[in-house]
């Protein structure tokens, strides 16, 4: 479900109020001058105990060939996410979410390789809910590594809900599931009753891959998925 273009100035405060009821803005294109509200009939969410990591991805994360931090260059991550043929990220979206970031309500994960930004993601944080907005990669597995590190920080910080807004085959392969609009509203309301802290892991700290995997997957037993598609477990 989406509404018509807005006819008023959208502020960071209004944006947070919209997120608190499950609604978010998009633009029709990079060149669009107006935004519209969206509330999907079917919502994508990640169970925070349900991240699926292939053995090859786990090997990549453990290798530490990427240096992964948070909130190092939020605007650069947003601009990189907009570097595609069709994007909903226009100048107004960039302005609004950078304002949220400046206020501590939006965060980014940056993935560096040889000091070059090669992947990342960003989203909105409200109490114990993280609303994932977009991700990008310029190197193989860089966006997946960003997701592993996001899970690590969310689980460490006590988050209860990770919203992906929409579901794709790619996200489903990593553990995302579909819930109805009505069920999402209930999950959202429950999660907004509790606080979480994105900063439990300091933003500038580059988590070693082994530690990030342990945090993201939880406890001693990590749920893995073989490259051939058969689930396995690894201690």
Q: Is residue 145 part of a domain?
A: yes
pLDDT of residue 234: 35
What pLDDT does residue 230 have? 35
Q: Distance of CA 179 to CAs 26, 182, 230, Å?
A: 21, 8, 24
Q: Work out how many domains the chain is built from and give that number.
A: 1
Q: Taking all residues of the chain, what is their mean pLDDT, rounded to a whole number?
A: 90
Q: How far apart are CA 158 and CA 93, in angstroms?
A: 28
- Residues 89-106 as b/e (b if ≥16 CB within 10 A, e otherwise) read bbebbbebbbebbeeebb
Average pLDDT over residues 145-174: 97
Answer yes or no: is 1 within a domain.
no
2 lies in some domain: no
Q: At what angle do helices 91-102 and 74-81 cross, to 10 degrees?
A: 150
**Cα 184 versus chain centre, distance:** 17
Evaluate if residue 228 carries a pLDDT over 50: no
The pLDDT score that the predictor gives to residue 10 is 87
pLDDT-derived band at 33 (thresholds 50, 70, 90) equals confident
Q: How confident is the model at residue 8 (pLDDT cuts 50, 70, 90)?
A: low
Could you give the 3-state DSSP secondary structure of residue 208? coil
Evaluate whether residue 219 is within a structural domain: yes
Write out the residue range of the structural domain in which residue 206 sits: 12-234
Does 5 fall in a domain? no
Q: What is the CATH number of the domain that holds 169?
A: 3.40.630.70
Residue 6 lies in a domain: no
- The answer to whether residue 7 sits within a structural domain is no
């Amino acid at each position: 479900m989406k509404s018509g273009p807005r006819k008023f100035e959208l502020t960071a405060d209004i944006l947070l109020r919209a997120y608190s009821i499950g609604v978010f803005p998009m633009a029709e294109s990079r060149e669009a001058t107006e935004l519209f509200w969206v509330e999907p009939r079917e919502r994508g969410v990640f169970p925070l105990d349900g991240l699926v990591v292939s053995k090859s991805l786990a090997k990549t994360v453990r290798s530490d060939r990427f240096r992964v931090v948070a909130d190092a260059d939020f605007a650069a991550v947003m601009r990189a996410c907009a570097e595609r043929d069709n994007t909903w990220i226009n100048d107004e979206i960039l302005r609004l979410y950078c304002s949220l970031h400046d206020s501590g309500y939006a965060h980014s994960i940056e993935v560096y390789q040889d000091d070059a930004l090669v992947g990342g993601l960003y989203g909105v944080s409200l109490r114990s809910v993280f609303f994932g907005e977009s991700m990008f990669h310029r190197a193989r597995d860089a966006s997946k590594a960003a997701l592993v590190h996001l899970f690590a920080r969310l689980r460490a910080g006590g988050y209860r809900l990770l919203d992906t807004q929409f579901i794709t085959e790619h996200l489903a392969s990593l553990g995302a599931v579909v819930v109805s609009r009505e069920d999402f509203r209930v999950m959202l309301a429950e999660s907004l009753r509790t606080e979480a802290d994105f900063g439990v892991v300091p933003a500038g700290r580059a988590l070693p891959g082994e530690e990030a995997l342990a945090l993201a997957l939880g406890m001693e037993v990590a749920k893995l998925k073989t490259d051939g598609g058969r689930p396995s477990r690894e201690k």
